[in-house]
């Protein structure tokens, strides 16, 4: 297919996301994560993979969703953008698909602030909407170092009220 690209699809908080397969170095089960003192809320710690120490970022926390316990479906997607290598912790990742460039639409203008920067586009794959990530923005160290997004703070406040 002309002007098509391969993507890895993953699920996070009930939504399907995609990253270009060329940005993915590997996918693994989440095993041993070593916590790092004073790390930002989205950074679970570091992992040691193939002789390399890699920060592990929980995308649920990064995107302002409530944290979920890891299970056998949880995956670590190791992505590279420029010189940065980061592990993204997602709920599940099992699909590899070809998405024609013509089916990818830009994110709607109504999406503002951080969430709009994280999206490179939106595509329809079968009967699902797929949010295509802008990996460079998702792993931007300046953003990761900030406090948890407002959605996470609101969720934490709700849990405190219970």
pLDDT band of residue 148 (cuts 50, 70, 90) is very low
Token couple for 16: 């399907």
pLDDT one-digit tens code per residue, 103-135: 999 887 776 554 568 899 999 988 999 999 999
pLDDT band of residue 27 (cuts 50, 70, 90) is very high
CA–CA dist 13, 124 (Å, integer): 18
- The pLDDT of residue 82: 85
Residue with tokens 């990064």: 62
From the options 2.40.50.180, 3.40.640.10, 1.10.1040.50, 3.30.2310.20, give the CATH code of 4-161.
2.40.50.180
CA–CA dist 151, 63 (Å, integer): 8
Integer CA distances (angstroms), 46 to 63, 87, 120, in order? 19, 9, 27
CA 147 to chain centre: 17
- The pLDDT of residue 89: 97
* Domain boundaries of the chain, sorted by first residue: 4-161
Asked whether the predicted pLDDT for residue 91 surpasses 90, the reply is yes
Give kind and range of the element (H or E) at residue 100.
strand 92-100
Q: Mean pLDDT throughout 29-55?
A: 92
pLDDT band of residue 146 (cuts 50, 70, 90) is low
Q: Provide the 8-state DSSP code for 161.
A: H
Q: Which of 9-18, 48-57, 108-117, 121-130 has the lowest mean pLDDT?
A: 108-117
- The pLDDT of residue 85: 93
Q: Nearest to residue 17, comparing CAs of 93, 76, 98?
A: 93
Q: Nearest to residue 24, comparing CAs of 138, 141, 143, 106?
A: 138
Measured in degrees and rounded to the nearest 5, phi and psi for residue 70 equal: -75, 145
Token couple for 130: 């797929």
- The pLDDT of residue 3: 84
pTM: 0.83
């Amino acid at each position: 297919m002309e002007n098509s690209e391969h993507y890895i699809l993953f699920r996070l908080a009930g939504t399907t996301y995609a990253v270009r397969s060329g940005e993915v170095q590997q996918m693994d089960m989440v095993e041993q994560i070593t916590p790092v003192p004073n790390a930002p809320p989205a950074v679970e710690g570091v992992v040691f993979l193939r002789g390399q120490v890699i920060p592990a970022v929980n995308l649920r926390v990064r995107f302002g969703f409530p944290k979920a316990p890891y299970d056998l479906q949880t995956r670590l997607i190791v992505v590279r953008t420029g010189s940065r290598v980061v592990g993204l912790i997602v709920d599940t990742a099992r699909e590899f698909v070809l998405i024609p460039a013509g089916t990818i639409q830009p994110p709607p203008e109504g999406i503002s602030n951080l969430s709009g920067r994280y999206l490179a586009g939106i595509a329809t794959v079968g009967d699902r909407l797929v949010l295509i990530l802008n990996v460079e923005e998702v792993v931007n160290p300046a953003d990761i170092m900030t406090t948890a997004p407002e959605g996470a703070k609101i969720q934490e406040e709700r849990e405190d009220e219970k």
